């Protein structure tokens, strides 16, 4: 069985992420969303919160599982028989980094393929950092976020601002 791994920080998961995960779930038998701990990035949400949010918004997708990892992605991918890393591409600005990561991972483990899904045009502008910035300044983030986590996230951000 081919397993698609969707790795990311998901700080927080947005409708853009959900779109990529949903489309991957139609292309692959099994999808594992891998929430990466990533010590180099300062996150708004804890790893547990990010995992919980991803679980809540993907609960309706039967072939999608949620996991987490703190380490090299290729080492995580190696536990699956035919791993394919799926990443979303929004714009040319994403390309350079994503291309470099895909080639690096391939070098580290030639079995790990990377596949890119073009972002839906509705979400090309959307990023977790953009959403956080809007929320910090009191803007309405409801059109960017999955309904299942919106209230919790808003409350968390409001508490941080006060
Ligand atoms: P990372 O810190 O690894 O970049 P992110 O959580 O920011 O993690 O993103 C995870 C994946 O989701 C990446 O492949 C990213 O390009 C993709 N992604 C993020 N936002 C969108 C979006 N609006 N549309 C499509 N893909 C997206």
90 counts as catalytic: yes
110 and 39 Cβ atoms separated by less than 8 Å: no
Q: Which of the residues 26, 41, 60, 162 is marked catalytic? A: 41
18 and 52 Cβ atoms separated by less than 8 Å: no
Q: Is 114 in the pocket of ligand 1 (CB under 6 A)?
A: no
Residue 111 to residues 32, 38, 75, 139, Cα–Cα distance (Å)? 17, 23, 11, 44
Residue with tokens 């959307």: 126
| Domain range for 142 | 3-161
- Global pTM reads 0.95
pLDDT at 130: 95
Which residue's CA is the nearest one to ligand 1's atom 10?
A: 8
Instruction: Tell me the C-alpha distance between 157 and 4, whole Å.
Output: 32
pLDDT beneath 50: ranges in the chain: none
30 counts as catalytic: no
pLDDT at 51: 98
Number of domains in the chain: 1
CATH of residue 91's domain is: 3.40.50.620
pLDDT at 162: 62
pLDDT at 67: 98
pLDDT at 159: 84
17 counts as catalytic: yes
Residue with tokens 């929320």: 135
């Amino acid at each position: 069985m081919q397993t698609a791994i969707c790795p990311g920080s998901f700080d927080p998961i947005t409708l853009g992420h959900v779109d990529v995960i949903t489309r991957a779930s139609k292309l692959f038998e099994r999808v594992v969303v891998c929430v990466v701990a990533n010590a180099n990035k300062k996150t708004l949400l804890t790893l547990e919160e990010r995992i919980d949010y991803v679980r809540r918004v993907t609960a309706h997708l039967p072939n999608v599982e949620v996991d987490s990892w703190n380490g090299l992605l290729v080492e995580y991918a190696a536990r699956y028989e035919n791993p394919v890393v799926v990443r979303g591409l929004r714009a040319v600005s994403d390309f350079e980094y994503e291309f470099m990561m895909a080639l690096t991972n391939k070098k580290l483990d030639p079995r790990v393929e990377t596949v890119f899904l073009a972002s839906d045009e509705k979400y090309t502008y959307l990023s977790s950092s953009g959403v956080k910035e809007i929320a910090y300044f009191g803007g309405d983030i409801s059109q960017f976020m999955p309904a299942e986590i919106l209230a919790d996230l808003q409350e968390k951000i409001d508490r941080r601002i006060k």
